[in-house]
Amino acid sequence: MRAAPTILHLDMDAFFAAAEQAAKPSLRGKPVVVGGLGPRGVVATASYEARRFGVHSAMPMAQARRRAPNAAYLVPRFAFYRSISEQVMELLGRLSPLVEPLSLDEAFVDLEAGAQADDSAGARRAGERLRRDILATTGLTGSVGLAGSKMIAKIASEEAKPDGLVLIEPGTERELLGPKSVRILPGVGPATGEHLRRAGMTTVSDLAEAGEDELVRLLGRSHGASLYRMAQGHDDRPVVAERDAKSVSVEDTFDVDLHDRLRIRMEVERLAERCVGRLRGSGHSGRTIVLKVRRYDFSTLTRSETLRGPTDDPVVVREAAGRLLEGVDTTGGVRLLGVGVSGLADFTQEDLFAQAEAEARAGAQATGEAPGGAEASPDRPPEQVETSEAGTDGAEAPPERRWSPGHDVRHAVHGPGWVQGSGVGRVTVRFEVPGSAPGRVRTFPVDDPELEPADPLPLVGGGEGPAAVA
């Protein structure tokens, strides 16, 4: 633990959704949901306006639509988000040579290594300057936590949301952590949390009072000792400069050995979903799916399958992990399961979401109706105009003329804009650019030769950050 709060944690506010609000003036201050729009799509990010309706990341998209039917539902533009992330990471690099990115929108910074701060006042100045620079450069807001350790800095940034800064003075960690849920500590997932709850420990102060010996008895030597130190507020992990990740994985140890084959399969599928969430958060995809099974006798089996190309599609990863499980004998019981992805690649996800959309359209065509049963109308909210390939005369539009909600286009007469939705042979476009007033909406045939896909326009820095209005 450090004597001064010189570890900084930055977490951009509702990053994907905020970037879309900044790029699309008509969406500022309105609920925006970004994610896969196919039948099995999940929410990647929800704006703070959408969160008021109970929408959150990792929620099935169908459930999000029920909770916030009038929100704008957009396909992610990961190349666009990555370009903004690079600007933010460059600003972090000015603070210190020790920057540890966790995902496109989150990172630790060692201010001490950059000679930016050696006391609380200096750390606060550095954090406030960073927030101003991010707003001036990108027009977006980020929340900053400052503390003497990584664990406490991350907790502080969460308390600072949205668009704030919280500094935790070293020496006050136990007071801060005491009343909080045990789930706030790194390494305490659903299974461990439930195990602790059954033992009568629900808060961090409960762990501290139980003592190290009791936690070791409940959780084992390594996990129990580590958890006791964290409950005391101790975390000596250093900030590690960026390095190439080789794999992403998640695993769970079960309190009681699993014997039911269906339950084991369900746990593998759940782990696959979590693994993909972590994979996407790191901005990667991967081509090798790995299954880890530790059996009742502590023997550990690892099986892997290499795909033809990199993926971050939860369906693909889930099905591959399921196939690997079929070749594993689980007779006698399973103590631990894990799913991982290796062979990582820097791979954007638009094509995968487009594939899910294509599957949804194919299913809709088979039943003769548009997905969701909605007709296209320029007056409907964004993405309430659903996607369909069928024209009004029953003829199919050329397969290459697909318009994903939220993606950029340019019209030969009207200039740049973005797709609100498409259906029954038409595509609806709102013509506006970052920094402009909300633009006009026009509708065109899906095969209009004057309408073309376009690259995203850069954000206008220094304006009203979209998260600032939340």
Choice among 106, 267, 357, 389 that is catalytic: 106
- CB of 406 within 8 A of CB of 388? no
- One-character DSSP codes across 310-364: EE--HHHHHHHHHHHHHTS--TT-EEEEEEEEEEEE----HHHHHHHHHHHHHHH
Q: Which residue shows structure tokens 């966790």?
A: 102
Contact, 441 vs 378, CB < 8 A? yes
The whole-angstrom separation of Cα 408 and Cα 412 is 14
7 vs 308: CA distance, rounded Å: 41
Q: How far is it, in rounded angstroms, from Cα 305 to Cα 324?
A: 7
Q: Which amino acid is present at 324?
A: L
Number of separate helices (H) and strands (E) present in the chain: 14, 17
Q: First and final CA of the chain: distance in angstroms?
A: 35
Known active-site residue 357: no
- Is residue 44 within 8 A of residue 280, CB to CB? The reply is yes
Active site positions, annotated: 106
